Amino acid sequence: EHKQTINFGAGPAKLPPSVLLQAQNELLNYSGTGISVLEMSHRSSDFNKIINKTESLLRELLNIPDNYKVLFLQGGGSGQFSSVPLNLIGLKEDRCADYLVTGTWSAKAAKEAEKYGKVNVVHPKLDSYTKIPDPSSWTLNPSASYVYYCSNETVHGVEYNFTPETNGVVLVSDMSSNFLSRPVDVSKFGLIFAGAQKNVGCAGVTVVIVREDLLGHALKECPIVLDYKVQAEMNSLYNTPPCFSIYIMSLVLEWIKNNGGSAAMEMLNKQKSSMIYDIINASNGFYVCPVDTACRSRMNVPFRVGKKEGNEALEKEFLDGASKRGMISLKGHRSVGGIRASLYNAVTLEDTKALLLPLLVIYVLT
């Protein structure tokens, strides 16, 4: 018996089936050109239409103000860990940047920034990534070039439900794993970046939204392909961009638009994640999510089975039960173990409901 596969992967992640079908339909002959987007010159007028359409859809979906540039770059989220300091740490002479370190990804970003300037971690070091220190405990440096945070920590399932107040210092956010999962007031940020492979497409392209006045401050050793000013002036075409990934993003953005935009995504994502957290909360400690309730991620739900540290036999039983029902990629990140269900935009309510069955089955049987 063939069961439909449900992909709960943390990224690359599920894409809307209609997007895949459209890409398939257009693969051999894109819009009457007789060729595939994979084979198309990035300087052709056809590709120009694709990249411009992708940008205008993003501007529309996020209400991006006119004084922001939108870039489509290679190098992934990790490429931005170095691009951000290379471009922005020189905004002020001190070359100092404030970092909030609330999980694996912000920790990696802070470590990379140390190569280019001084990094100040604004709160006491966390011994586990399960909470966001209260803003009253942060010591922000008023002469920092920028304040950096990761709005959703994919590995630990820690998500900000507020925008940090920086008292005028440029705010930078890694939104790789919750981009377009809810509305965001772009005007509060100096820079937002996000890899596409979770909520808005496939691997290969990273979106950068950057306020114009921040361009032109790159360190002199900044590689030219990472220089936001150069890429902004060239409409992300200084060199060959990830053309096909940009095309896939345009299809996903259209899908988001047709499904109600970022506000509709937010409602859906809240509903989906609540279903899982409700079961965890009602399980009398059988399922354990270590994350503070105030910052539990709507995108990545990490939990242990059986007890706080996880009962490996029961976790295997859960994964086997899920796998028998066609559900894949539910294993927690190798650094934390346990289970992680990622519920990005393309994961439907029905997909999420399906997960309740294997959750209830071992709960009831144990």
Residues that bind ligand PMP (CB under 6 A): 11, 76-78, 105, 150, 154, 174, 176-177, 195
Helix (H, G, I), strand (E, B) or coil at 91: helix
If one counts every other C-beta atom within 10 angstroms of the C-beta of residue 95, the result is 16
Of 278, 212, 274, 262, residue with least CA distance to 62: 262
Please, what is the minimum distance in Å from the beta carbon of residue 228 to ligand PMP? 17
DSSP state of 135: G
Nearer to ligand PMP, 78 or 274 (CB): 78
* Annotated catalytic residue within 92, 105, 227, 229: 105
Nearer to ligand PMP, 56 or 78 (CB): 78
Q: Check: CB of residue 279 under 8 Å from CB of residue 287.
A: yes
12: preceding bond cis by omega (within 30 degrees):
yes
If one counts every other C-beta atom within 10 angstroms of the C-beta of residue 309, the result is 11
- d(Cα 173, Cα 105) in Å, to the nearest integer? 11
Q: Check: CB of residue 168 under 8 Å from CB of residue 211.
A: no
Nearer to ligand PMP, 181 or 362 (CB): 181
* Annotated catalytic residue within 14, 92, 98, 174: 174
Nearer to ligand PMP, 92 or 298 (CB): 298
Of 42, 72, 68, 80, residue with least CA distance to 222: 80
- d(Cα 271, Cα 44) in Å, to the nearest integer? 43
- d(Cα 269, Cα 271) in Å, to the nearest integer? 5
Please, what is the minimum distance in Å from the beta carbon of residue 149 to ligand PMP? 11
Please give the structure tokens belonging to residue 228.
């936001």
Answer yes or no: 198 catalytic. Answer: yes
Nearer to ligand PMP, 55 or 159 (CB): 159
- d(Cα 34, Cα 14) in Å, to the nearest integer? 29
Helix (H, G, I), strand (E, B) or coil at 300: strand
Nearer to ligand PMP, 11 or 164 (CB): 11
Please, what is the minimum distance in Å from the beta carbon of residue 300 to ligand PMP? 8
Please give the structure tokens belonging to residue 364.
């009831």
* Annotated catalytic residue within 14, 69, 92, 198: 198
Residue 146's DSSP bridge partners are: 97
Answer yes or no: 118 catalytic. Answer: no
Residues with catalytic function: 105, 174, 198
